[in-house]
Chain A
Amino acid sequence: ILNVEQSPQSLHVQEGDSTNFTCSFPSSNFYALHWYRWETAKSPEALFVMTLNGDEKKKGRISATLNTKEGYSYLYIKGSQPEDSATYLCAFNRGSTLGRLYFGRGTQLTVWP
């Protein structure tokens, strides 16, 4: 079992605040890092798949960076809105495990209006 750690576990912010969370993963044999957004009573939805050290991806107000040498990724949300409230999951893959992902426990974000 590979350890994927996410912090913080939960976060409460005001509408308009910018926020970020961290995903830590084993740096050896890295292949890919995924971010998913999971709203309550729905299913996880893919945000980003990142494979290269130094990768930066952006989707609207959400962006992510990747450092494979030190084993971490940051997810940033600029100007949080109530509809951003969700659990954000990261998942790590080693090439040797083909398509298998190891998920973290997630960061639960609540944005208050």
Chain B
Amino acid sequence: DAGVIQSPRHEVTEMGQEVTLRCKPISGHNSLFWYRQTMMRGLELLIYFNNNVPIDDSGMPEDRFSAKMPNASFSTLKIQPSEPRDSAVYFCASSLGDTSNQPQHFGDGTRLSIL
């Protein structure tokens, strides 16, 4: 079975550019999570969708970050304009069900470097 698929695996871009990260959750999973991993803060939740609807976006750092889930099999996380402090590994995860009694399955992550 295919797991959570993220693209690109690596992205290097210059400050000020728009960055789009993509995620395909596991088929049938109806919860999707975007996380950011940094040395300073560990693994932090950015936004969480349930049945394609954003449920909790309190972790989105600022207006430069936006996320969409147009259908059950695709989500994007966009940063515009990007800044060097956005450099991190971004993970997408999905889980079955509406609550947390199911494990989350993580993608391989996107390593983002903003120069």
Taking Cβ atoms with an 8 Å cutoff, the residues of A that contact B are: 31-32, 34, 42-46, 49, 51, 89, 93, 95, 97-106
Q: Using Cβ atoms and an 8 Å threshold, which residues of chain A touch B45?
A: 100-103
User: Which A residues are CB-close (under 8 A) to B105?
Assistant: 46
Give per-residue flags for B37-55: 1 if the beta carbon is below 8 A from chain A beta carbons, else 0: 0000011110010100001
Q: Which residue of A lies closest to B31 (CB)?
A: A99
Interchain CA distance A2-B89 in the complex, whole Å: 22
B109 beta carbon closer than 8 Å to chain A: yes
Chain B residues in the interface with A (C-beta under 8 A): 31, 33, 42-45, 48, 50, 55-56, 91, 93, 95, 97-109
- A74 smallest CB distance to B (angstroms): 19
CB distance from A76 to the nearest CB of B (A): 19
Which chain B positions have C-beta within 8 A of A98? 48, 50, 55-56, 98-100
Name 16 A/B residue pairs within 8 A (Cβ), A-sorted: A31-B99, A31-B100, A32-B100, A44-B93, A44-B106, A46-B104, A95-B99, A97-B56, A98-B55, A99-B50, A99-B55, A99-B99, A101-B33, A101-B45, A103-B43, A103-B44
- Distance of A99 Cα from B95 Cα, bound (Å): 9
Evaluate whether A100 and B43 lie within 8 angstroms (CB atoms) in the complex, with A44-B106, A51-B101 already known.
Answer: no
